[in-house]
Amino acid sequence: MTGDTEVREQVRRRYAAAAVAGSCCGPTQGCASDPSLGADLTGGSYTPAELATIPSNAAGASLGCGNPTAVSDLRAGETVLDLGSGGGIDVLLSARRVGPAGFAYGLDMTGEMLDLARANAAEAGVENVEFLEGYIEDIPLDDASIDVIISNCVINLSTDKPAVFAEMARVLKPGGRIGISDVVADDRLSPAQRAERGSWAGCVAGALSYAEYRQQLEASGFADIELTPTHQAAAGMDSVIIRARKPHP
């Protein structure tokens, strides 16, 4: 396997195992529980009221570093896409926020996670959702079909982030926006120093720096870019809220 393919397979195996564990007894692997970090990546970001509206298996399989639904200002009737939707927690919360006139897609490459997410949606009785199998570098949706893109500690796992950002720009409607939680490195840390702090599959080695994140979003045409750190994930690395907008022509 090539290096990129090997990394993707490591990520897939890790999250497949997390899905199986999360379906019965809580997650044992994933970003939120990476023992190398010495910190809770989620930062306790979901409120008790939110967690009360979704199945416990969806909450148990949450392996992110924040709560993108809380920062994306979702509105009734909007269409939302969650990149790397995992057990479905953010898709289900989004579906409730946009209401029956809106719709929420979840995209994931891991079959076990998709099975868990679909079971969670059925248990929750949420019908305005669809979980798609695929890669965030090649989103299986039409151009200009999405109002809001969210993602929870997943983009750092990609080995081709420019492709991810280009695909995000493609599927967003003009004026559409992103509200992402991700791990971001201090600009002073080299890629080697990031790798010293944790694995790629553990959401650390593949993290972009603040400057890199901004530059790559700008290169894909995004505007009004904001990166707001919420809490420390590892030494010199933060859990960060990223907001941006696709301009009108």
Query: What domains appear along the chain, each with residue ranges and CATH number?
Result: 3-245 (3.40.50.150)
Contact 229, 210 (CB under 8 A): no
Lowest mean pLDDT among 6-20, 175-189, 204-218: 6-20
Residue 29: the pLDDT is: 39
pLDDT at res. 141: 98
Alpha-helical regions (H) of the chain: 3-22, 48-51, 56-60, 89-98, 111-124, 161-171, 191-196, 210-219
The model's pLDDT over 127-175, given as tens digits with 9 standing for 90+, comes to: 999 999 999 999 999 999 999 999 988 999 899 999 999 999 999 999 9
In 3D, which of 116, 63, 117 has the Cα closest to residue 95? 117
**Choice between 179 and 3, residue whose per-residue pLDDT is larger:** 179
Alpha carbons 208 and 180: distance in angstroms, whole number: 14
Q: Burial code of 157-179, b = ≥16 C-beta within 10 A, e = fewer?
A: bbbebebbbbbbbbbbbeebbbb
Q: Residue type at 182?
A: D
Q: In angstroms, rounded to a whole number, what is the distance separating the alpha carbons of residues 67 and 182?
A: 10
Side by side, the strands of the sheet bearing 223-234 are 129-133, 103-108, 79-83, 146-152, 172-185, 237-245, 223-234
Q: For tokens 């893109």, name the residue.
A: 149
Could you tell me if 18 and 58 are in contact, meaning their C-beta atoms sit under 8 angstroms apart?
no
Per-residue confidence band for 107, with pLDDT thresholds at 50, 70 and 90? very high
The residue among 91 and 31 whose pLDDT is bigger is 91
Task: Say if CB 144 and CB 115 are below 8 A apart.
Answer: no
pLDDT bin (cut points 50, 70, 90) of residue 4 is confident
Q: Which of 5-14, 159-168, 189-198 has the highest mean pLDDT?
A: 159-168
Question: In this structure, are strands 237-245 and 223-234 parallel, antiparallel, or unpaired?
Answer: antiparallel
Residue 56 has a pLDDT of 57
If residue 132 lies in a helix (H) or strand (E), which one and from where to where? strand 129-133
> Three-state SS for 193?
helix
pTM comes to 0.83
> Over the range 85-101, which residues count as b (16 or more CB within 10 Å of their CB) and which as e?
bbbbbbbbbbbbbbeee
Is residue 105 predicted with pLDDT exceeding 80?
yes
Specify the pLDDT at position 246: 98
Over residues 187-212, mean pLDDT: 86
Backbone dihedral angles phi then psi of residue 97, each to the nearest 5 degrees: -70, -40
> Tens of pLDDT along 43-87?
446 566 666 666 555 554 444 455 566 666 889 999 999 999 988
Structure confidence at residue 24 as a pLDDT band (50, 70, 90)? very low
Q: Is 180 exposed, middle or buried (0-12, 13-18, 19+ CB in 10 A)?
A: buried
Using an 8 Å Cβ cutoff, are 73 and 95 in contact?
no
